[in-house]
Amino acid sequence: MARYRDAVCRLCRREGAKLFLKGDRCFKPSCAIEKRGTNPPGQHGGARRKMPSGYGQQLREKQKVKRIYFILEKQFRNYFEKALRQKGVTGENLLFLLERRLDNVVYRSGFSTSRRQARQLVNHGHILVNDRKVDIPSFQVKVGDVISVKGNSAKNVHIEGAWQTAVGRGRPNWISAADKDLSVSISALPKREDVDAGINEQLIVELYSK
């Protein structure tokens, strides 16, 4: 399976914004954006840049969203085609599909400090959906699902640390704390205001509609 193996801080610098790919480090002075600014990586990163064309803006927006959710091109295109077939606004449908991925829900619930870490937890079988192990990061959660941590995994230092700081990071309104510790429930479907306001999904729709 294809995976991105380079330094993820380069992705943030390329997009000129924090994508929160390194967990707690993104909130510290050691963050690459804080230390080096928003210039792109590479020896010519500090050179004056031209304003991107319309196509360039659309492409950059698509790349940014792919990198936020840490997925590759083929899978991202499949999500767009599925969103296109659904009723409603295509761009918003795309974001809702991405938000409902299990690895994203694990991150947004507070079980991990980054989506990349969340994907690893899912792949390694630490996460339960309705008390059944699900090790597929792209699994789509639905209203009423209860997401929890497998019994022995509750003592995992990474999960414990992330859960303790989850309150400070906040959870979206569609994810609610469940009855038992280290568990949440999906109380509603995500809405546009629950997704990063810095994303302009219409640019992605225009790019794929050409």
Same domain, residue pair 66 and 27: no
| Residues 184/175, Cβ–Cβ less than 8 Å | yes
Owning domain of residue 201: 54-100+196-210
In order of 36, 37, 201, the CA distances from 14 in angstroms are 12, 11, 19
Same domain, residue pair 122 and 159: yes
> What is the CATH number for 19?
1.10.1050.10
Same domain, residue pair 107 and 185: yes
State the Cα–Cα distance between residues 179 and 157, nearest whole angstrom. 22
In order of 82, 138, 158, the CA distances from 98 in angstroms are 11, 9, 24
In order of 117, 137, 146, 187, the CA distances from 124 in angstroms are 11, 10, 19, 26
Same domain, residue pair 108 and 171: yes
Task: Specify the amino acid at residue 178.
Answer: A
Same domain, residue pair 161 and 121: yes
Same domain, residue pair 121 and 180: yes
Same domain, residue pair 121 and 167: yes
- What is the per-residue pLDDT across 90-123, written as a single tens digit (0 to 9) for each? 999 999 999 999 999 999 999 998 898 999 999 9
Same domain, residue pair 129 and 172: yes
pLDDT of residue 12: 56
pTM of the model: 0.79
| Residues 177/184, Cβ–Cβ less than 8 Å | yes
pLDDT of residue 210: 76
Give the burial string for 125-138 (b: 16+ CB within 10 Å, else e).
Answer: ebbbbeeeebeebb
Backbone phi and psi for residue 146, each to the nearest 5 degrees, phi listed first: -110, 120
Number of domains present in the structure of the chain:
3
| Residues 201/92, Cβ–Cβ less than 8 Å | yes
Same domain, residue pair 125 and 182: yes
pLDDT of residue 198: 84
Burial of residue 10, with CB atoms counted within 10 A of its CB: 0-12 exposed, 13-18 middle, 19 or more buried? middle
Residue ranges of the chain whose pLDDT lies below 50:
1-2, 43-45
Same domain, residue pair 167 and 89: no
Same domain, residue pair 108 and 182: yes
pLDDT of residue 8: 63
pLDDT of residue 161: 86
Burial of residue 171, with CB atoms counted within 10 A of its CB: 0-12 exposed, 13-18 middle, 19 or more buried? middle
Same domain, residue pair 82 and 67: yes
> What is the CATH number for 109?
3.10.290.10
